[in-house]
């Protein structure tokens, strides 16, 4: 009997990371069942543009549904691997009344999918966590054993997601693997994220808005490196475990803007504003566990990755004008 192609469910498949992952899996000959709710967090047209790249193959099927509310029966039929990337993103929107949305889309949706997974024959259930669970830590680079100390409700929902996944692993043997992503960037990045805003302003020769003094440090991780780590986690990740996935080059926001200035070739004006709520001062990952188990290496340096993001954004502007 011929080998059956692996089938993956990718939640959040029309988003930034999800669309890149779905493309990579299709490129390997996999079947991909995509799920996305097309929430109103940012314009639907951007997600439609992402998913348009996937619709050209018969090995991709898209279902538009909300994991927190809609009927999920049959969603995992024939699925070998789950890549659960769908979530309500963003830190500042999680304070106050917005928390209900984060609890529904990050916690309740994950719980419902995990419950469904108890009745499926999965090889792996890989889910997205975040560096936001760490908050401000006493020691860096931070290891996976550090106690969570989120400084935003968004980060707290990611801690809850990890705890839920661990509970379903221990109680039902759902083969979960968690990935704590550190500031993913690259082409198709969400429009609310810093590099997306910086690049758009730089290309339009508008002032670049910076929250706080710009000396906060981030570990930026290129999207293709994150995709490679995510696929490796499905095959090699320790079930019930979690991994830091970081780019290995912590830089300050001001340093990243100076790098962007060298890429676009003209001076950039910075417009400073109040510091954002829920932002840690520093993120820096110890990725030795991912190196050991997943063979993970961040292969894309910040100059190369940011240049690729600038070129992609510039191409999209030219297409829109043409």
- Give the pLDDT confidence score for residue 277 in this predicted structure: 87
Average pLDDT over residues 167-180: 98
Measured distance CA(67)–CA(164) in Å, rounded: 15
Nearest alpha-carbon partner for 187 in 55, 317, 56: 317
- Give the pLDDT confidence score for residue 276 in this predicted structure: 85
Instruction: Classify residue 149 by burial, with Cβ atoms within 10 Å: 0-12, 13-18, 19+.
Output: middle
- Give the pLDDT confidence score for residue 314 in this predicted structure: 73
Active-site annotation holder among 154, 181, 185, 243: 154
Q: Assess whether pLDDT exceeds 90 at residue 317.
A: no
Confidence of residue 242 (pLDDT cuts 50, 70, 90): very high
Residue 246 near residue 131 (C-beta atoms within 8 A): yes
- Give the pLDDT confidence score for residue 62 in this predicted structure: 96
Q: Assess whether pLDDT exceeds 70 at residue 3.
A: no
Ordered structural domains, the chain, with CATH? 7-321 (3.40.50.720)
Average pLDDT over residues 154-172: 98
- With a threshold of 0.75, does the pTM exceed it? yes
Mean pLDDT value across the chain:
95
Confidence of residue 156 (pLDDT cuts 50, 70, 90): very high
- Give the pLDDT confidence score for residue 53 in this predicted structure: 83
Q: Assess whether pLDDT exceeds 70 at residue 219.
A: yes
Nearest alpha-carbon partner for 9 in 101, 83, 104: 83
Confidence of residue 1 (pLDDT cuts 50, 70, 90): very low
- Give the pLDDT confidence score for residue 316 in this predicted structure: 67
Is 154 known to be catalytic?
yes
Average pLDDT over residues 204-220: 96
């Amino acid at each position: 009997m011929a080998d059956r192609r692996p089938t993956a469910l990718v939640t959040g498949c029309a988003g930034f990371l999800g669309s890149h992952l779905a493309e990579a899996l299709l490129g390997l000959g996999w079947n991909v069942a995509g799920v996305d709710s097309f929430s109103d967090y940012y314009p639907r047209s951007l997600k439609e543009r992402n998913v348009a790249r996937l619709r050209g193959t018969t090995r991709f099927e898209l279902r538009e549904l909300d994991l927190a509310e809609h009927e999920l029966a049959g969603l995992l039929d024939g699925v070998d691997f789950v890549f659960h990337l769908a979530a309500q993103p963003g830190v500042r929107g999680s304070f106050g009344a917005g928390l209900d949305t984060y609890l529904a889309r990050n916690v309740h949706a994950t719980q419902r999918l995990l419950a469904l997974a108890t009745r499926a024959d999965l090889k792996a259930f890989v889910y997205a966590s975040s560096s936001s669970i760490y908050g401000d830590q006493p020691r860096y680079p931070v290891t996976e054993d550090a106690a969570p100390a989120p400084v935003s409700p968004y980060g707290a929902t990611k801690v809850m997601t990890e705890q839920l996944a661990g509970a379903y692993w221990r109680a039902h043997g759902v083969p979960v693997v968690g990935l704590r992503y550190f500031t993913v960037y690259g082409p198709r990045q969400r429009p609310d994220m810093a590099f997306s805003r910086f690049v758009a302003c730089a290309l339009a020769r508008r002032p670049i808005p910076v929250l706080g003094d710009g000396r906060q440090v981030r570990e930026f991780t290129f999207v293709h490196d994150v995709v490679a780590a995510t696929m490796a986690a499905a095959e090699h990740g320790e079930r019930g475990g979690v991994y830091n996935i970081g780019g290995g080059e912590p830089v300050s926001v001001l340093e990243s803007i100076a790098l962007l200035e060298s890429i676009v070739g003209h001076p950039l004006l910075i417009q400073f504003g109040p510091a954002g709520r829920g932002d840690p001062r520093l993120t820096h990952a110890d990725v030795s566990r991912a190196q050991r188990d997943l063979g993970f290496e961040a292969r894309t340096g910040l100059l190369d990755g940011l240049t690729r993001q600038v070129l992609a954004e510039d191409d999209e502007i030219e297409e829109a004008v043409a």
